[in-house]
Structure 1
Amino acid sequence: MTSPRYLRAGVIGLGVGARHAAIYQAHARCTLGTICDIDEQRLQEVGAQHPDCRLTTDAADILSDPLIDVVSIASYDTHHGEQVLAAVNAGKHVFVEKPLCLTDREFEKIDAALCAHPEVQLSSNLVLRSFPQFQQLRQRIQSGALGRLFHLEGDYNYGRVEKLTAGWRGQIPFYSVSHGGAIHLIDLIMWLSGGRISAVVAVGNQITTHGTQFKYPDIVTALLKFTDGKTAKVTANFGCATPHHHCLAVHGVAGSFKHDFLGGVHYHSRDAAIPVELVNLNYDASFKGNVQRAFVSRILDGTPAEVSSADALNAMAVSLAVERSLSTNVWEPVQYARSHT
């Protein structure tokens, strides 16, 4: 693959996508070419920050522009699959907010397009692996400090139920709390453990948002089987009466690590008399741009991405299996992509 010297970027969707635009604009080897939003007022607000950038309300203007090298997709979830597919088929690199897509059929089409365009780089904004708290935890795991891992748990506690009951998530044709929330913990658990998930089984309910505009489960819990025998549990809890936060537990034969709203704890022993180690590294939004910056470097210089094409596809494949299990009520195998194994 021949690396370009400069990138011309386009951004679709200017909610969180406004941050994408700012990162491209600030990069010494990127030019922000076109930004898009269906809301004209929002488009003009963000456009005012980028006076040399073209503005459009039609995503096709970016997807069909031969001068655009990389596309950030931060539109409503229902548009991600079709926009990712169009970008890949046009030979454009893609940085997409989760989820990559919503359905197995969309996933299969994107996988086929990536097989046909192996030069295209893909990444998704799965940001938890960027945070120092979890990067150091991975180092602890790899050093053997926890021993052989046997079980992991992750909770995505959204704490913003009004975004389901009054926002766009309850107005689009379909919204998945697994694809929109649990996928962060799915990716984190796979990255920390280095394992491959073979099958999942899931349950959920809609007690919190019953009677509102939102018509889908607002909490989903999935059990995960790894190929090497490990187990895991992941929950997307959008109805919780807590602030937004993530919980994580990693259990090994020699130690355990737990992280929640109050911080992290490393348990070095089963003996209650042995002091625990408090671990409270920086855990804030300032690291959220690192995945995108690393993706740009991947395209320009061939350096490793923080979230590779395979990482993005693998997390999506697991989340799709969670959605299938919600419908079938049985264990569902994870159907991984062929383009990146």
Structure 2
Amino acid sequence: MKKNLNVGVVGLGVGEQHVLGYQKLDATTVTDICDINPKILKDVGDRNKIFGRHSDYRMITENPEIDIVSIASYDDHHVEQAISAFNHGKHVMIEKPIALNRVDSERLLRAQQDSGRLITSNLILRQSPRFKELKSWIDGGYFGDIVAIEGDYIHQILWKLTEGWRGKMDFYCVTYGGGIHMIDLMRWLIGQEVIEVNGMGNKLLTRDTPYKFDDIIMNSLRFENGTLGRSMSNLGPQRPQIHALNVYGTKQTFINDIPHARLYNGDQPHQETTITTAYPGIEKFDLIPDFVSAILEDRQPAISITDIFRVMDICFACYDSLEAQKTISVTYLI
């Protein structure tokens, strides 16, 4: 493995954060970027002194000099771009969701497996100092048995559905774009797989707009050891952004809030502890150093292939449940 890896980034919205992440590392050089918007392409290239600039992603995915491709394009382009990268021997980081349906997810997995290259996704909440601390407590038995967990993606970005590219896609699901973060976080925190789901949604926030799909979705989850979970994706709340997380154990309860979280070991005022550990305390590129290290060390990245395909399978089951209006068992590709 060569010591300096060349990187190409496709999609320069959040993708510019990928550029910044790679540029901070001694082991990587961002040589090429791609975007379909000429102004964005020029501005990002000028700001970051990158001279390989393209409107066609294949100029990156098929470039034999590039070792890593970061994909941060529109969601419905992820699969084709990633498969092209794998077919040409690249390691790939993909923004979530990695795919929009099971068929494409299977195609992507097959391409990755055939290539022998690494894949990861930017499920960034695992990097939050507050949630890392919480996981250490859960793993250490501080909470006892986890009986229930709730994780809600609450962010006032409704314009992304009504005015942005998401609303123009043939299919979009707020669970895939928002709730996936919380489902991944809950699965990681308690170390259990989801075995069945039940989804419900409505379209009240966007009922007078051209947006065609449910704008709020609430999913109930059952984990393998009996823990019950719930996750809401709400892109139109009248409140500040928060990754709302409640963890109920037989010994402790954790409630995430802004600026501080709260920990309870009973129902009396003196049984409340304030948690001041940083939240969110993360940058969009915080998983990139580990991904690069994984490539150099020939190991799985922190967000492994199992993690990214399993959380996607949970999201697929949630949507199937919403459509079928019944509880659905989760089936996993890997």
- On whether the aligned pair clears a TM of 0.5, the verdict is yes
Does 131-140 or 60-69 show the bigger shift?
60-69
Map of 2:75 onto structure 1: 77
Q: Structure 1 residue aligned with 2:272, among 272, 276, 296?
A: 276
Q: CA deviation at 1:272?
A: 1.3
- Partner AA of 1:289 in structure 2: F
Q: Structure 2 residue aligned with 1:51, among 38, 44, 49?
A: 49
Match status 1:206 vs 2:203 = yes
| Paired residue total | 334
C-alpha change, 1:42 and 1:273, in structure 2 (3 Å) is: closer
Q: Structure 2 residue aligned with 1:101, among 94, 99, 102?
A: 99
Q: Structure 1 residue aligned with 2:287, among 280, 285, 291?
A: 291
**2:179 and 2:231 in contact (8 A); partners too:** yes
Map of 1:62 onto structure 2: 60
Map of 1:179 onto structure 2: 176
Normalised TM-score (structure 2):
0.96
C-alpha change, 1:302 and 1:280, in structure 2 (3 Å) is: farther
Map of 2:232 onto structure 1: 235
Q: CA deviation at 1:285?
A: 5.4
Q: Distance in 2 between matches of 1:141 and 1:287?
A: 24
Q: Distance in 1 between matches of 2:68 and 2:332?
A: 25
Q: CA deviation at 1:146?
A: 0.5
**1:249 and 1:257 in contact (8 A); partners too:** yes
- Partner AA of 1:294 in structure 2: D
- Partner AA of 1:308 in structure 2: S
Q: Distance in 1 between matches of 2:119 and 2:189?
A: 21
**1:4 and 1:299 in contact (8 A); partners too:** no
Q: Structure 2 residue aligned with 1:40, among 38, 61, 76?
A: 38
User: Which 5+ residue runs of structure 1 have no aligned equivalent?
Assistant: none
Map of 1:263 onto structure 2: 260
Identity %: 36
Aligned partner of residue 147 in structure 2, secondary structure: strand
Q: CA deviation at 1:303?
A: 5.8
Map of 2:326 onto structure 1: 330
Q: Structure 1 residue aligned with 2:127, among 85, 109, 130?
A: 130
Q: Structure 1 residue aligned with 2:17, among 16, 19, 36?
A: 19
Aligned partner of residue 289 in structure 2, secondary structure: helix
| Cα distance per residue 1:41-82 (max 9 Å; x no partner) | 000000102334300000111111122111100001111122
Aligned partner of residue 159 in structure 1, secondary structure: coil
Q: Structure 2 residue aligned with 1:9, among 7, 24, 34?
A: 7
Match status 1:307 vs 2:303 = yes
Match status 1:168 vs 2:165 = yes
User: Which 5+ residue runs of structure 2 have no aligned equivalent?
Assistant: none
Q: Distance in 1 between matches of 2:321 and 2:79?
A: 21
Q: CA deviation at 1:114?
A: 2.6
Q: Distance in 2 between matches of 1:4 and 1:310?
A: 26
Aligned partner of residue 187 in structure 1, secondary structure: helix
Q: CA deviation at 1:84?
A: 1.8
Q: CA deviation at 1:99?
A: 0.7
Q: CA deviation at 1:130?
A: 0.3
- Partner AA of 1:35 in structure 2: I
**2:10 and 2:33 in contact (8 A); partners too:** yes
**1:268 and 1:274 in contact (8 A); partners too:** no
Normalised TM-score (structure 1):
0.94
Q: CA deviation at 1:304?
A: 5.6
